[in-house]
Amino acid sequence: MTRRILPCGGRELWYPQLIDYVLSLATRERPKVLFLPTASGDGEVYIRLFRMAFGRRACDLDVLELFSRTVDDVGALIRDQDVVMVGGGNTANMLAIWRLHGVDRALRAAYDAGTVLTGWSAGCICWFEGGTTDSFTPDLGPLLDGLGFLKGSASPHYDSEARRPMVYAREIAAGLAPGIALDDGVAARYEDERLVEVVSGPKGGRAFMVDRDGEHPLAVRVL
């Protein structure tokens, strides 16, 4: 079973082209898609946007809320999905809550079984070993305890937040693992922990591998 992760730089995955691309990775004709809005505190606006964006597609939708949890067996719910999508917000808080509820273990099991994992911003960083985040301070800093499904680090919002490139370079120089930087609306497709391609909803979207030697541009396919 091929394992797939599709981290996106930011500004949601509501681009129609990206939605279709995500759903095309599912093996079921009518995919089951689960949204995890934990990073936003289960924000109602995010949940509504998710349902609006996917509601016209041939898929079945569900949401896992943990601040007012109603699901008894989180593992069973997550394992039953074709796609799990993670929203933006506070990455550190999200990871802590996931670990309290066993979501981290459930995601690992689903990933190994072939469920497509995706998301933007916090839902981009979380799959890696670490990344740059505003979870602790508006000035941005390192996050070092990601789920680690993918090696290295990630920096989302690379084009829309002016300090992201500088902070990412600084933190890599200070010891953060090298990794990938993604503009908003740009998603990187990993299969069995290997980068397969980078795609973009909007024109002009960029992606880079970043290490101590600087930025190394990646080819980006506009959908």
Q: Which of 135, 153, 155, 157 is catalytic?
A: 157
For 213, counting Cβ atoms within 10 Å of its Cβ (0-12 exposed, 13-18 middle, 19+ buried), the class is exposed
Q: Which of 40, 121, 135, 200 is catalytic?
A: 121
| C-alpha–C-alpha distance, residues 20 and 15, integer Å | 9
For 36, counting Cβ atoms within 10 Å of its Cβ (0-12 exposed, 13-18 middle, 19+ buried), the class is buried
| C-alpha–C-alpha distance, residues 159 and 45, integer Å | 24
* 101 is known as an active-site residue: no
CB 131 within 8 A of CB 91: yes
What token pair was written down for 216? 């190394």
Residue holding tokens 């080819």?
A: 219
Helix (H, G, I), strand (E, B) or coil at 159: coil
Which residue, among 100, 172, 173, 89, has the nearest Cα to 125 in the 3D structure?
89
Which residues are part of the catalytic machinery? 121, 157
